């Protein structure tokens, strides 16, 4: 559970045989080039989507840095189009470990059908989680009743908990109002998460300025509400702050935050 210097690690070649060690010469060369520039994480065997690996892309909005207001929005599930084997790293199977939609559809095989198979809604995710919790009786006893009743709600809360740690980490630096070039600022972010079979969430990436291109139906459904509400929220914050300069008035709640949920203030 510790972060180790690169020199303390044994390097492995993720090929068809993931346990095969790289030669000492390759290890030393790799070590010399990238010393102190890597974070190494244990490979997480993930919960599967009908035999396929998947992850979650969610969205969060820093609607204001003064005061700090941060909102969460559901996103999409990104499903690999190749059946998943967590121990198979052969070149022809490597895409089974990738959930990035562009990577899944690379090679000229992008069609509307495949795009919609690789990009799924949180309603679909809710069904997958409910079936998983209900189908495995041995594992089901591990979950508390509130998790079994609403597994998606449980996962969503764990995601917001993780994002709270991110906001805490950057509150005094990137989200500090002293660094804002105007009276106030807002920022739109994405974040990616994986789930394991205990419904633990694992953050894999935070994205500044996530892709707004809409091709898949599930993403279009999300963005039809997400985007206009996001700008309405920012505009409402601005209008209330201008008015409060004249007459003191509370900033919260924001009437425009309908599908966005405040999780940090």
Whether 191 has a pLDDT exceeding 70, the answer reads: yes
What are the start-end ranges of the E strands in 35-179? Answer: 48-49, 52-65, 68-83, 119-120
Q: If you average pLDDT over residues 149-163, what whole number do you get? A: 96
Strand pairing report for 201-208 and 187-195: antiparallel
**For residue 80, what are the CA distances in angstroms to 77, 151, 209?**
10, 22, 23
- At residue 179, φ and ψ (nearest 5 deg) are -90, 0
Q: If you average pLDDT over residues 98-105, what whole number do you get? A: 66
pLDDT over 90 percentage in the chain: 46
Contacts (Cβ under 8 Å, ≥6 apart) of 231: none
Kindly report the CA angle at 82 between 130 and 87, in degrees rounded to 5? 85
Which residues on adjacent β-strands are paired with residue 46? none
pLDDT, residue 104, reads 65
Integer Cα distance of 43 and 95 in angstroms: 15
Q: If you average pLDDT over residues 221-229, what whole number do you get? A: 96
Taking only the tens place, the pLDDT of each residue in 42-82 is 778 789 999 988 999 999 999 999 999 999 999 999 998 87
pLDDT, residue 29, reads 58
Taking only the tens place, the pLDDT of each residue in 113-130 is 888 888 999 999 999 999
**What single DSSP character describes residue 183?**
S
Yes or no: say if 134 and 148 are a contact pair by the CB < 8 Å rule: yes
* 245 or 54: which leads in pLDDT: 54
Yes or no: say if 247 and 230 are a contact pair by the CB < 8 Å rule: no
Whether 11 has a pLDDT exceeding 60, the answer reads: no
> In terms of pTM, does the model score above 0.75?
yes
Whether 223 has a pLDDT exceeding 80, the answer reads: yes
Q: If you average pLDDT over residues 172-199, what whole number do you get? A: 90
Average pLDDT, the chain: 81
Integer Cα distance of 195 and 118 in angstroms: 17
pLDDT, residue 2, reads 40
Contacts (Cβ under 8 Å, ≥6 apart) of 100: 78
Yes or no: say if 93 and 203 are a contact pair by the CB < 8 Å rule: no
* Range in 34-38, 73-77, 191-195, 246-250 with the lowest mean pLDDT: 34-38
pLDDT, residue 167, reads 96
Whether 189 has a pLDDT exceeding 60, the answer reads: yes
Contacts (Cβ under 8 Å, ≥6 apart) of 241: 183, 184, 251
Q: If you average pLDDT over residues 199-213, what whole number do you get? A: 90
pLDDT, residue 42, reads 76
Whether 235 has a pLDDT exceeding 60, the answer reads: yes
**For residue 264, what are the CA distances in angstroms to 70, 143, 183?**
5, 27, 20
């Amino acid at each position: 559970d510790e972060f180790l210097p690169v020199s303390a690690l044994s390097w492995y070649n993720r090929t068809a045989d993931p346990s095969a060690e790289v030669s000492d010469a390759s290890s030393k060369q790799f070590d010399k080039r990238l010393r102190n520039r890597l974070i190494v994480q244990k490979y997480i065997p993930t919960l599967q989507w009908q035999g396929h690996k998947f992850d979650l892309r969610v969205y969060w909005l820093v609607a204001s840095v003064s005061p700090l207001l941060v909102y969460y929005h559901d996103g999409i599930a990104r499903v690999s189009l190749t059946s998943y084997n967590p121990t198979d790293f052969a070149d022809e199977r490597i895409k089974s470990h990738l959930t990035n939609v562009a990577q899944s559809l690379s090679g000229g095989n992008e069609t509307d059908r495949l795009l919609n198979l690789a990009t799924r809604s949180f309603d679909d995710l809710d069904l997958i989680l409910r079936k998983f919790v209900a189908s495995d009786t041995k594992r089901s006893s591990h979950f508390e009743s509130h998790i079994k009743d609403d597994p998606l709600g449980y996962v969503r809360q764990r995601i917001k908990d993780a994002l709270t740690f991110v906001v805490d980490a950057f509150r005094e630096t990137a989200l500090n109002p002293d660094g804002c070039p105007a009276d106030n600022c807002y920022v739109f972010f994405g974040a990616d998460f994986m789930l394991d079979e205990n419904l633990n969430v694992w953050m894999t990436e935070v994205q500044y300025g996530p892709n707004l291109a809409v091709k898949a139906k599930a993403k279009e459904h999300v963005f039809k509400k997400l985007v206009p509400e996001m700008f309405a929220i920012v505009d409402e914050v601005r209008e209330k702050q201008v008015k409060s300069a004249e007459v003191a008035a509370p900033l919260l709640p924001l009437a425009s935050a309908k599908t966005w949920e405040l999780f940090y203030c």
